[in-house]
Chain A
Amino acid sequence: MTTTDNNNVLLRVEHLVKHFPITRSKMLIFSQQVGAVHAVDDISFSLIKGETLGLVGESGCGKSTTGRTILQLHRPTSGHVYFEGKDLAVMQGEELRKMRRRMQMVFQDPYASLNPRMTVGEIIGEPLIVHDLASPKEAEERVQDLLKLVGLNPSFSNRYPHEFSGGQRQRIGVARALALQPAMIVCDEPISALDVSIQAQVVNLLEDLQTEFNLTYLFIAHDLSMIRHISTRVAVMYLGVIVELADRNELYAHPLHPYTQALLSAVPIPDPVAEEKRKRIILQGDVPSPVNPPSGCRFRTRCPLATAICSEARPEFREVSPNHWVACHLV
């Protein structure tokens, strides 16, 4: 949708919707759906080969659900996810399992995402075994290579996850994602659990690997400074919808959506002289509940510029200048 050059498009998401049902049981066994969490509500975007698309937003905006729904870890409520031209949303069973080789994930929590009872070698080698791509012996060799690749000592393969620090564990998570030589990796807040001095280590590693293997990243994060650093293009989400999408420098230099503007103004800069000159747009109130999102524009309840039309119609996500997409009535 954001580009017409189909040859370079790796992933095309069209009108993706993911609602989680809220059920209540009246009697002991009969449960009835009484509502839905509108986690992702009709979003469309594309990923171009070799790029990093930053998906940014506050907690609960649906950015992680988007990542997981693309990988079919959640099945979409409606919409399409075309990966290398094939629609993952209609795939089932073995066919889908085969596609998973091409798309992997790095998780947020390096403590919870590694099985504490498996050795590092087993963790990294497991994808190769379950996809029948290597014998145990070959897998072992491949594990050594992967450990070296992510900057860990190959002799560590017999150790258990608890013997490693947070940053090292995240490297193990990256090695596991790389084992199947995927085309795309969804990085779901891969650095937010790490200390500042370690974050840069992992980000640099991800950038090096991208160059080496021509990887495509969907990089989910809430840290806007890091998103600017790592992304080619950036999509801003709010309450289940993408409100703005543009090339990274364009988005940060000319944010058009009032939410993007407020979000960017809220990020502190590590420079007291620059901080003195900045003007903050302080948003009032909290993010509304995704169970019962506001009518029309999702942001209208906190938007300093909202007018009557904002509550009546949902703003169209449209291209206002080349490659700069925004969903706002007032732009």
Chain B
Amino acid sequence: MENFFSAFALALTPMSIAAIGLGSLVGLIFGSIPGLTFTVALALALPISFSLDTVPAIGLLLGTYIGGMTGGSVSAILLGIPGTPSAAATVLDGHPMTKNGDASLALGTAVIVSVFGGIFSLVIMIVSVDLVSKVAISFGPAEIFALVLFGFSTICGLCGRSLLKGLISGVLGLMIMTIGLDVIEGVPRMTFGSINMLQGVNLLVALIGLFAVPFIIEALSERADP
């Protein structure tokens, strides 16, 4: 606990707070733009962090990460396009609120909930990091299989009225994830000779495509038939 308080004191120095603020702002901007993720923001913030002391540098990177994750909900709410994979669920509730004229309420709620979620998960991490690390080490193929099975079973709960369409969505997702280099035998699958496709389809790219394309078609249809 003593270590925690001394670290807390270090994090509250003006330089650390400034670094966290700057990182959050940059992360928020990058997270808000679909396609520009917090990963890009982190890659840009990394060289800057080399010139800083340890604590402000970590503050800058953490601020960028958290700002980027929160920023993903901005484009999800305003445009209906998730800025980060985790903001995909925000589209379902946030974007209809924007259409109803409650964009500021949705954005405010998303930011407040992100703050509470961040603090809550931080507390949980501090309390349970020892236990979680033991579980993480013992996580083998059987546990991963069980987790995947759990993921499939949630399709039944999330697919709404049509189980068949939920299953089709699940299979389509699995098909997309088989694209790329086979990890066991190193055989390229559905890459059509492209080097970029060897790493597979990025989850965020797939999500942006899935959410953005219908939105664009809908917007263009409304424009064409007022």
The answer to whether A binds B is no
Chain B residues at the A interface, C-beta cutoff of 8 Å:
none
